[in-house]
Structure 1
Amino acid sequence: MVSTIANVDVKQKDSSQALVIAISCSAVLEDTDEGDGQKLGAALPLLEALQTVNRHLVAANSAESLLFDVLLVTTDERQQQSARIVSSTKHHGLEVSRFCFSGREDFVESLLENQVQLFLTAEPQEAAQASQKGILSALLGQQSWSSPSEQLRVLFCDNDVITTTPANLKPATQRFWTQLGAMRERFGVLDSPVSILVMTAHGGRQKLGDTLVTLRSHGVNADEAYSLAGAPQGPVLDLLRPHFLLGDDDLK
């Protein structure tokens, strides 16, 4: 059974205009062995970065509708903890519009019902389940803990870095990048709260150039671009500290 609770403490976004992102609850709030307490998870810097972007957008235009609309989704049997999850989120000042309580078997249903455009989780199996239903998904990697909270950093890379996604994700991927590109255009070249990074693992400058052209065809201009030409990826990822990674298969 799926249930959704609106956060009355947060101004609700226009879901037809906003960029709807769902984050697995387990990546935001982790259970502890200390009574009923919960500690913050790897997605905290991401949530803070999304809030920073929204704050800048509204400051520039109070009527702005292209905002991040954030949902917290349970992907396990935690419905009985709903009150504690809501109160913990509010206690930490996290801007979550809605809470979707579901289980392992039906959490994808909650993503579809809420027209989620990007699902983020730390669990590969959850990402695969959502991808199979046409929902763009990405993993929160080990860099997430050290990602900046004052700037959203999204890395676009080839499939040597991430898992190939099904062909049915093409529409979802294109829509996400188009909206993110439009959001990035709201800001200037310097001191933007959104940074779009591009990295290719192989193919040299030609591969990188083709990738940049593909992104521009969807209204996305990169802030930084890197061609590794076979060099190790780990050191670059540690330097860039992206909040999450997305691949290029579905934009070809």
Structure 2
Amino acid sequence: MAEVKLVVAISSRALFDLDESHQVFEAKGEEEYSRYQISLESVPLIPGVAFSMVRKLLALNTDPSRPRVEVVLVSRNSADTGLRVFNSIRHHGLDISRAAFTRGEPPYRYIVSFGAHLFLSANPEDVRGALDAGIAAATILPSGSEEFRSGQLRIAFDGDAVIFSDEAERIYVEGGLDAFNQNETESSEKPLPGGPFKPFLSALHDIQSDFPVKSSPIRTALITARGAPAHERVIKTLRSWGIRIDEALFLGGKEKGAFLKSFGADIFFDDQIRHCDSAAEYVATGHVPYGVKNAV
């Protein structure tokens, strides 16, 4: 049994489809939005982009006395407008009991207090605040994908500036592909520094370690634009960390979307928005605004 519980904080707009409600807020302001939500608080919201992932995470809690995962709702709603969200949580049978409603204020300070390993939100500003506070975080993008069939939780990650630091990516930006490959070949025995999602991946690995490999309820994949010879450093880095990645795809620059669909990802995390936009056509996708490719 994993000793440290995995804590995931999620915004209401990542958990449920609140597009129509958000349009009311944008067009008519806070007061009309509040009246709208209160008038519909007995009408359940439909699942949002990250709903499948959350449901599968909570399904890992097979022993009520020692839960492996906790999901916390963190929302810019007020408590009044948030009541519809909690009613929807109950309607869908999600075991979520903790929440913070901040009525428009940035919520990341409470994310830290909850001890979250991961924060998912539709608000890029809040995501950047969480990343600055040292928490893995991603902006959930609209997705045209259908919910996947598997009961297994499948999470896919990009490598540089997500699992790993952006150290190598900076060399690519400054010197091009040849300089990048040369550096990675020369540094193949030197582990890459960890990126913002290393602690989250490690927590997933701890849960996976409770199960036989062939019957694990979680499956992870590294899906990266790297190819040979830059693959070697990645493999040896993960080995040095003692973290298992179930599948590793080194695509050498090919588009990732079709591969993510084949993997059956419940969610994919990438730092480059162009890769995220492509991936979102196939699977739920979170943009990680971290590293040199996101420098303002």
TM-score category of the 2 structures, normalised to the smaller one: 0.7 to 0.9
Residue in 2 that maps onto 1:29: 16
Local SS of the residue matching 2:216: coil
- Residue among 172, 197, 203 paired with 1:179: 203
After TM superposition, the structure 1 stretch with the greater mean CA deviation from structure 2, 110-119 or 121-130, is 121-130
Shift of 1:18: 0.7
- The AA in structure 1 aligned to 2:119 is F
- Which residue matches 1:3? none
Alignment of 1:210-225 (within 5 A): 210-225=233-248
Q: CA RMSD in A?
A: 3.3
In 2: Cα distance, 1:217 partner to 1:104 partner = 42
Higher Cα Rg, which structure: 2
Q: Give the Cα–Cα distance (whole angstroms) in 2 for the partners of residues 246 and 222 of structure 1.
A: 15
The answer to whether structure 1 residue 117 and structure 2 residue 127 are counterparts is no
Whether the 8 Å CA contact 1:43–1:144 is kept in 2: the answer is no
Residue 39 of structure 1 aligns to a residue whose secondary structure is coil
The runs of 5 or more residues in structure 2 that have no matched partner are 22-35, 168-192, 272-289, 292-296
Structure 2 letter corresponding to 1:42: V
Correspondence for 1:131:
131
Bigger shift: 190-199 or 147-156?
147-156
What is the 5 A alignment of 1:126-205? Answer: 126-141=126-141, 142=143, 145-148=146-149, 150-159=151-160, 173-204=197-228
- Of 37, 40, 57, the residue aligned with 1:50 is 57
Contact 1:197 1:224 in 2 (8 A): yes
**Cα shift at 1:246:** 4.3
TM-score by length of 1: 0.75
- Give 1:20 deviation, angstroms: 0.7
Does structure 1 conserve the Cα–Cα contact (< 8 Å) formed by 2:222 and 2:245? yes
Q: Which residue of 1 aligns with 2:71?
A: 70
For residue 158 of structure 1, what is the amino acid of its counterpart? G
Alignment partners' CA distance in 2, 1:171 and 1:51: 25
Report the CA distance between 1:124 and its aligned residue: 3.2
Residue-pair matches, total: 225
* Residues 1:101 and 2:101 aligned together: yes
Does structure 1 conserve the Cα–Cα contact (< 8 Å) formed by 2:17 and 2:49? no
Deviation at 1:143, TM superposition (A): 7.3
Q: Compare 172-181 and 100-109 and name the one that shifted more.
A: 172-181
Matched, 1:39 2:63: no
Higher strand share: 1
Alignment deviations for residues 100-144 of structure 1 (CA, whole Å, 9 cap, x no partner):
111443311110121111101234333222112222102434377
Q: CA deviation at 1:231?
A: 1.3
User: What one-letter code is carried by the residue in structure 1 that aligns with 2:221?
Assistant: L
2-structure distance, mates of 1:126, 1:228: 31
Preserved contact between residue 140 and residue 243 of structure 1 (Cα < 8 Å): no
- Comparing both chains, which one has the higher relative contact order based on Cα–Cα distances under 8 Å and sequence gaps of 6 or more? 1
One-letter amino acid of the structure 1 residue matched with residue 111 of structure 2: L
Q: Distance in 1 between matches of 2:77 and 2:149?
A: 31
Q: Secondary structure at the match of 1:49?
A: helix
Unaligned runs of 5+ in 1: 1-13
User: Could you tell which deviates more after superposition, 38-47 or 96-105?
Assistant: 96-105
Seq. identity, %: 28
Which deviates more from structure 2 when the two are superposed, residues 185-194 or residues 151-160?
151-160
